Structure 1
Amino acid sequence: MPRGRYSLHDPHDHTPLGEEHFQCAPGPSGWRYVAQRTSPSGDHAGSVDLTLDELGRPLRVELHAASWQVKGAALDGVTWVRTDPTGEHATEGNVGAHAFTGASPAFLVAISRLLRLEPGAGAVRVRLVAFTDPVLAPLTLDQSWALLDRTGHTADTGPLLVDEYQVSELDTGEVRTIHIAGDVVLAAPGIELEDLESPPSSFAA
């Protein structure tokens, strides 16, 4: 069960955005990731709880940030409920999308698991609902994902396969490179893996 800490920063000007203290593991239903987020000053800033099924679809997602809360799942595309700080004006949403995304590195692992790309197979377009900081506002967007390379590395715990993805934002043309090993993001724009207490878990085929 990997347990560790990511530091988050603005990918453009490198402004620190805080840290995400996480643990994750494959399970009978698929994969679960839970995390607590802290601000740059160390104050509690929110939480992430994501469960995938064996195909990588979001069985359940629960996000908290700035007193806002989102609960969602894969249902007729993706469906969610977003609750405001007073709890009086909950809003529901539904989009014919494949999955959710957001600031948490968990979503990068989740999308890679959903797509199950092979190196050199070409790019795949995916529609996502992003919950944007700081108030978890929903935004529908399209990305293109391609698995450029899969390389083996020798680690203290044994062989480690690292996948290098190219992710393109289709509305802006921005291109990012993301490195994932098993269920841990090793590096991505705005994300640094600062501490990992145990090696990444490998997904079954």
Structure 2
Amino acid sequence: MPNGRYSLHDPHDGTPLGEERFQCAPGPAGWRYVAKRYRPDGTVQGTTDLTLDARHRPIRLELRSGGWQVRGGALDGVHWVRADAAGGAEATEGEDRAHAFTGDSPAFLVATARLLALEPGGSARIRLVSFTGDALAPRTLDQGWQLHSVQDHPTDSGPLPVEHYRVTDLDTGEVRDLHLTGDVLLGAPGIELEELDSPPNPRRGQPL
């Protein structure tokens, strides 16, 4: 069960935005990721709790940030409830024919990659509902994903397969490169893996 820490910064000017401390592991449902996000001054900004099923669909999502909480899951699209975290007031329900969720946490990049299950050179288009920032307001977006390459990197415990993805925002044309191995993101614009206390859990069918 890897425990680790991501550092977060503005991808344009490098301004530090804090860090995310996380745990992730396979479980009875499929995979679970829990994390707390901290501001640069050390105060808690928010939390992420994401559970995927055996087909990497989000069966349970809970986000907290800025006094708001979002709970959701996938069933004939995705469904969610956004409410005031203090007392559940102002709760609003939403649904969309999207495939999954995304947001500020690195967990969503891992989850989307595993849901698509691309082979090297393969590409796919995916529709996601995004929850970002302190307001956690929903926004639907379309992305194009390509698994550009997979390369083995030597480690003390044997070769580590590192996947290089190119992700395109189909509304703006912005392209991001990201690298991950197993169920851990190694790096992406604005995100760097700084600590990991045990090896990542392997991608299904791909031994580490």
> Normalising by structure 2, what TM-score?
0.95
Maintained 8 Å contact 2:49/2:61: yes
Residue of structure 1 equivalent to 2:13: 13
Q: Which residue of 2 aligns with 1:107?
A: 108
Q: How many residues align structurally?
A: 204
Displacement of 1:88: 1.6
Deviation, structure 1 residue 133: 0.5
1:148 correspondence with 2:144 = no
2:111 is aligned with what amino acid?
A: A
Secondary structure at the residue paired with 2:110?
Answer: helix
Does the 8 A contact of 1:157 with 1:199 survive in 2?
Answer: no
Residue identity (%) = 63
* Shift, 1:204, TM fit: 2.0
Q: C-alpha separation between the residues in 2 aligned to 1:67 and 1:134?
A: 8
1:44 deviates by: 1.0
Structure 1 stretches of at least 4 aligned residues deviating more than 2 Å after TM superposition: 84-87
Aligned to 2:95: 94
* 2:44 counterpart residue number: 44
Cα distance in structure 2, aligned partners of 1:92 and 1:76: 15
Amino acid at match of 2:102: T
**Which residue of structure 2 lines up, in the alignment, with residue 139 of structure 1?**
139
Which residue is equivalent to 1:198?
Answer: 198
Aligned pairs (5 A) from 1:71-82: 71-82=71-82
CA shift for structure 1 position 89: 0.6
Deviation of 1:95 (Å) = 0.4
- Kept after mapping to 2: 8 A contact 1:76/1:94: no
For structure 2, the 5+ residue unaligned runs are none
How many angstroms apart in 2 are the aligned matches of 1:45 and 1:56? 27
Instruction: Give yes or no for contact 2:7–2:18 (8 Å, CA) kept in 1.
Output: yes
Offset, 1:13: 2.1
Q: CA RMSD in A?
A: 1.0
